[in-house]
Chains A and B, each alone.
Chain A
């Protein structure tokens, strides 16, 4: 069961790769001769009210949230690791200031933070991802700091030091890698889920997020709803995909939780 933790991410990566490699052009696919068709061998999930292939758009829509999610995870990790380790290891003025800064940042609701960033810098994948990443830093950084603070006084870490393992290796390998990897994996999956919901909602509502003709699960849903598509898969496919992925991300995150880290 625990081994399945990485499956949703692997499938996503595959879907994203296929969507990228297919060279699908969302404008050229408009075909007024094939509006609202049901599933068939040529169109596995049928077509939407503009005659576009629902399955292909679903696959291509992965990149709408996948790319910001990867940016968000990378940024959250890059900021939270050093600051978390710093506040976990020492009790000086700097860690205190940093932790106050994160507390202040965490007091702004994440959605508001992301909307502010999108309003100021536009809502492309980079801005969305960066904003979501920064908004994940406080929780991740505090979690790492707390974990390191608990572990570093434990006897087995002292024993590691007493065996002659250097301070930096104790921190990087024994504390961060062995001690925090489960926690970090879990938090990053949650960031991933956050970006999925965020991007899908934004492009469903319109204004921010991915706009037509580029597909995203949110704007596919919005389009099918507003046009009252007769192919119910044009509506069901993005809805089920969003729901299924969200459930799997949460399940993967709790599968990770069982990996013996206390």
Chain B
């Protein structure tokens, strides 16, 4: 796979006069995983959505710059005339930037079966690379859903939380994005399923995908991520190698660590 990198510089998001995210600067490379941690409401999800172009990008609402480099191609979707920006986003969305949303079941179309939605993604430009053409089951099995044929015929409301999450991962796998933003992928799942989901994300990274993992659960960070960035009240406070997570120094970091330790037990 060609070299790829994503850098977000000085992101600023405003709602009216309230600044929600300020000076957020992140750098992500293909085959690496960056964990973006922080309490609820610290601006993690907003930052992720800005990277995916899912916020209304009006001047004065979202500022800063995003640079995505894939091979020789460089895209700057925050810059230029609206038409130019939209063209950059059209090239980035899906094919280069993927999303595993926080609310897994809600992010699946309630009116169509899992199989129909996967097929749709396979038909998008760049979708389904590296798999047998048109085979929905292949991607479901790769996301850890053994009974692929059965799951493909199900509607989202029939899926359990863990299954819905896996379907979202299958969609991201089938889409073949170079970078994937995974928003709280383990929230609300029991530890066994959590571990399996994290394995699936690890597999994505191993095949050269760059991952931005958003979580408030520090326990899953050291085993999985390469780097960790801490957000607090809309600001990026600290960035550390994930192995040195325990050295978080800021007040917000200390608080998160303190909240995590008692239950951490064997995980780190």
Contacts and interface: CB of A to CB of B under 8 A. Distances in A.
Contacts of A165: 94, 124
Given A162-B52, A163-B124, A155 B90 contact: no
A2 to B, nearest CB: 14
Contacts of B109: 156, 160, 174, 178
Contacts of A174: 109
A158 interface: yes
Contact of B54 (A162, A178, A261): A162
A262 B110 contact: yes
B121 A163 contact: yes
B93 A164 contact: yes
Interface string B84-106: 00000010011101110101001
Interface in B17-54: 52, 54
A158 B125 contact: no
A161 B54 contact: yes
A158 B54 contact: yes
A102 to B, nearest CB: 26
Prevailing SS type, chain A contact patch = helix
Contacts of B98: 162-163
A175 to B, nearest CB: 11
A223 B98 CA distance: 69
Q: How large is the interface on B (under 10, 10 to 19, 20 to 34, 35 or more residues)?
A: 20 to 34
A155 B124 contact: no
Interface residues of A, number: 18
Interface string A25-58: 0000000000000000000000000000000000
Contacts of B95: 164
Interface string A140-161: 0000000000000011101111
Given A159-B99, A159-B101, A164 B107 contact: no
B108 interface: yes
Nearest to A157: B109
Interface in B180-200: none
Given A159-B171, A163-B124, 11 more contacts: A156-B106, A156-B107, A156-B110, A159-B168, A162-B97, A163-B99, A163-B171, A164-B90, A164-B94, A178-B112, A261-B111
Interface of A: 154-156, 158-166, 174, 178-179, 260-262
